[in-house]
């Protein structure tokens, strides 16, 4: 049974197929932001969203035009509309898990939208002030994950430095609990707040502003975001009624809010779309987990299955299993098991019996 099912799964996809989970389209016609949003929703998925620096490079390379173009970011000014975010993409800021100094945050200096840490306690602070900062490096450059930078920069400058030379500003409570970070005294860390929202409702925290002023709320009527392709793609804000070219994106994933067994989910995807989704890197994990958060079941099937016959896990799309996000303590070598991603928490992977039923995500041609 195991061998025949394994052959059935692989024969279902007779050729190797790879693509991005979403595709950018540059539209050279000048439109207002609202008109651009309407066009993208009618012809693709929505105005472009940008979730990390990899996306930013893909956006820039999708056109040879050096101009200013709309992206799908819109501001809703007002202090009550601000939200806190971690700088590192993919981390969700939890208002119930914070380490504020007594009386903070308080906007005591006006608009205080960036976070300063002193001996593990947090204070909101104006983003334009200069302090030392801590960078996180996921590749452990010089055998270190965390690097204290001993010269001072504004918060946006510090974020840019960390992204260009490491990975990002230190982000997340797990990173802040590292012994090499705990002793930080008056240092920027990767927390900020703003009133900007993505057009399609996603909660990505990635920002690529050119100027610190764009982290300050309530500035005139410049409430729509542009990417300036003649300035390495850095972002600026503009009056939404101005007419500019724009970027759309086309999502290649679809969440199916029906509960099916793993084999039923596989057959559904292959009949109506392309295949059950595969995840080959951290960027794809972050993109897909945003979809998983909207599922109606506690977990969502992935296209990852274990074969007892050959004793390994494989993606049904024939992608190499080079990236995983298993929860700690999960034993990964049982028969008749496939992988799910949890809807809540850290969106980690668990193994589940094939005959359990969950929502699932299909990839599209």
- Summarize pLDDT for 120-168 with one digit per residue, the tens: 999 999 999 999 999 999 887 667 899 999 999 999 899 989 999 999 9
Tell me, yes or no, whether 219 and 306 share the same domain. no
d(CA 322, CA 338): 17
Nearest one of 220, 273, 229 to 251, comparing CA atoms: 273
Nearest one of 311, 347, 349 to 330, comparing CA atoms: 349
Domain extent, residue 46, equals: 22-77+196-250
The pLDDT of residue 18: 41
Residue tagged 């002793």 (tokens): 183
C-alpha count within 13 angstroms, C-beta hemisphere, residue 270:
16
Nearest one of 51, 88, 91, 56 to 284, comparing CA atoms: 51
Tell me, yes or no, whether 246 and 260 share the same domain. no
Tell me, yes or no, whether 167 and 33 share the same domain. no
Residue percentage of the chain with pLDDT more than 70:
91
Highest mean pLDDT among 12-16, 98-102, 183-187: 98-102
Tell me, yes or no, whether 91 and 177 share the same domain. yes
Query: Do 233 and 59 meet the contact criterion of CB atoms below 8 Å apart?
Result: yes
**Over the stretch 53-89, which tens digit does the pLDDT of each residue have?**
889 999 988 888 888 999 999 998 888 889 999 999 8
Tell me, yes or no, whether 48 and 139 share the same domain. no
d(CA 205, CA 210): 16
Tally of domains within the chain: 3
Tell me, yes or no, whether 312 and 288 share the same domain. yes
Tell me, yes or no, whether 218 and 286 share the same domain. no
The pLDDT of residue 3: 43
The answer, yes or no, to whether residue 16 has pLDDT greater than 60, is no
The answer, yes or no, to whether residue 268 has pLDDT greater than 60, is yes
Nearest one of 322, 46, 61, 16 to 197, comparing CA atoms: 46
For the segment 106-133, the average pLDDT, to the nearest whole number, is 93
Tell me, yes or no, whether 329 and 293 share the same domain. yes
Tell me, yes or no, whether 246 and 256 share the same domain. no
Tell me, yes or no, whether 154 and 89 share the same domain. yes
The pLDDT of residue 217: 54
Phi, psi of 166 (to 5 degrees): -135, -125
Q: Average model confidence (pLDDT) for the chain?
A: 88
List the CATH number of the domain containing 227. Answer: 3.10.100.10
Burial profile 40-79: b = 16 or more Cβ within 10 angstroms, e = fewer: beeebbbbbbbbbbebbebbbebbeeeebbbbbbbbebee
> Cβ contacts of residue 70 below 8 Å, gap of 6+?
31, 33, 36, 47, 224, 225, 226, 244, 245, 246, 247
Tell me, yes or no, whether 156 and 225 share the same domain. no
Cα angle 86, 116, 114; round to 5: 55
pTM for the structure as a whole: 0.79
Tell me, yes or no, whether 124 and 260 share the same domain. no
**Over the stretch 289-331, which tens digit does the pLDDT of each residue have?**
988 999 999 999 999 999 888 888 999 988 889 899 999 887 6
């Amino acid at each position: 049974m195991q061998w025949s099912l394994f052959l059935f799964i692989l024969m279902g996809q007779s050729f190797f197929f790879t693509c991005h989970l979403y595709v950018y389209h540059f539209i050279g016609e000048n439109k207002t932001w609202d008109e651009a949003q309407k066009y993208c929703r009618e012809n693709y998925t929505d105005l472009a969203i940008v979730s990390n620096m990899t996306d930013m490079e893909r956006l820039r390379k999708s056109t040879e035009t050096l101009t200013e173009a709309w992206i799908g970011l819109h501001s809703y000014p007002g202090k009550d509309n601000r939200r806190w975010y971690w700088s590192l993409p993919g981390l969700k800021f939890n208002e119930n898990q914070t380490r504020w100094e007594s009386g903070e945050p308080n906007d005591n200096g006006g608009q205080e939208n960036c976070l300063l840490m002193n001996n593990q306690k947090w204070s909101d602070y104006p983003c334009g002030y200069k302090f030392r900062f801590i960078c996180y490096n996921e590749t452990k450059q010089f055998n270190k994950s965390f690097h204290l930078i001993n010269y001072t920069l504004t918060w946006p400058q510090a974020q840019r430095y960390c992204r260009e030379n490491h990975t990002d500003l230190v982000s997340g409570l797990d990173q802040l609990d590292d012994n090499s970070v705990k002793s930080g005294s008056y240092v920027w860390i990767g927390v900020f707040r703003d009133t900007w929202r993505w057009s399609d409702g996603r909660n990505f925290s990635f920002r690529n502003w050119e100027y610190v002023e764009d982290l300050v709320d309530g500035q005139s009527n410049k409430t729509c975001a542009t990417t300036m392709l003649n300035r390495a793609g850095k972002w600026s804000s503009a009056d939404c009624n101005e007419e500019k070219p724009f970027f759309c994106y086309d999502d290649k994933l679809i969440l199916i809010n029906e509960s099916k067994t793993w084999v039923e989910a596989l057959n559904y995807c292959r009949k109506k779309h392309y295949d059950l989704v595969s995840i080959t890197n951290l960027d794809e994990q972050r993109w897909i987990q945003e979809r998983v958060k909207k599922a109606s079941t506690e977990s969502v099937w992935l296209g990852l299955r274990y074969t007892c016959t050959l004793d390994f896990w494989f993606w049904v799309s024939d992608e190499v299993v080079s990236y995983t996000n298993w929860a700690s303590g999960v034993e990964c070598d049982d028969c008749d098991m496939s992988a799910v991603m949890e809807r809540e928490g850290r969106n980690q992977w668990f193994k589940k019996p094939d005959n359990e039923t969950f929502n699932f995500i299909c990839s599209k041609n």
